[in-house]
Amino acid sequence: MILTLTLNPSLDRTIEIGSLDRGAVIRAAAAHLDPGGKGVNVSRALLANGVTSCAVVPYGGDEGRQLVNLLSLEGLDMVTVPVSGSTRSNVTLAEPDGTITKINEPGTPLTADELDVIADAVLTAAHSADWVVASGSLPPDVPHDVYAGLCRRFAAAGILLAVDTSGPALTSVLAAGPALVKPNREELAEATGVPITCLGDVLEAAGKLRASGARAVLASLGADGAVLVEETGIWYGEAVVSEPRSTVGAGDAMLAGFLAAGGTGPAALSTALAWGAAAVALPGSRMPTPNDIDPTPIPISTPNPTRPLTPHP
């Protein structure tokens, strides 16, 4: 079983438009409302593919009740924790060429007592978990070492922790020795100070994260694929998406696929890329089902350090 924790979940509204013209009245081609938050999306992707998962979800206000209702309709196994603040709402504008504009609310603070209740809920539910996934941004005023504290408690219980976050929350958890961290290209550069322009830069930065305590690094590089750096090897792969619709949640689907396939090695990386590519081809933050995922194995190889990455716009 894979348990996920999302301290800052959301309602995610994705609006498909022809083009983003500032100051204009824009007619939407389609709109989708999905439950959101990185850990929530990991659990949704696992559920869609028949993998046992449970999501710990703090919620508050009308938005929070709507979030829980949407997750209940999907049949997700949850531990819900009521909090005093309101769950945030995010908006994504998706253009036909795959350009994504995101507007994310910061969320509302969690009190020390609420954090204690959430931590207790995670630790209680984690007794039967193979992995715990701590994922997403932190709400305002939440201590940046909250994931590090959980990691130490999980390590003492023999539970593997995967962390997908950014900024101080990422750098502070490294010394606690998480089994896996999953930064994207920007997060990798921010955490290490290494400008990421080629695969060699990715390898250098991932090496720094491992030297700081992470046991494995799964670096997602968007259209340039992903790199997995573990003690037993270093692997690279990419999956081409002919008609991208939305990148929202694609990294979460990738992480879900990786863990569902065992959480280590080239076969897991191949599955991760397939799940991530399938998510990119879907609207909004929908998670792929087996019918959406191409069963053809994605080739995995040793990364060429000189290979350049797509320049950022």
Active-site positions?
252
> What tokens does 91 get?
């908006």
User: CA–CA separation, 150 vs 169, rounded Å?
Assistant: 12
Q: How many CB atoms lie within 10 A of CB 147?
A: 25
> What tokens does 125 get?
């539910």
Cα 264 to the chain's mean position, in Å? 17
Question: CA neighbours within 13 Å on the CB side: how many for 101?
Answer: 11
User: CA–CA separation, 196 vs 190, rounded Å?
Assistant: 10
Tell which residue, 199, 217, 221, 220, has the closest CA to residue 209: 217
- 266-272: list long-range contacts, CB under 8 Å, 24+ apart: 266/228, 266/233, 266/235, 266/237, 266/300, 267/300, 268/228, 269/218, 269/226, 269/228, 269/235, 269/237, 269/300, 270/237, 270/297, 270/298, 270/299, 270/300, 272/218, 272/226
CB 231 within 8 A of CB 217: no
Burial class for 243, CB neighbours closer than 10 Å (0-12, 13-18, 19+): exposed
User: CA–CA separation, 108 vs 216, rounded Å?
Assistant: 32
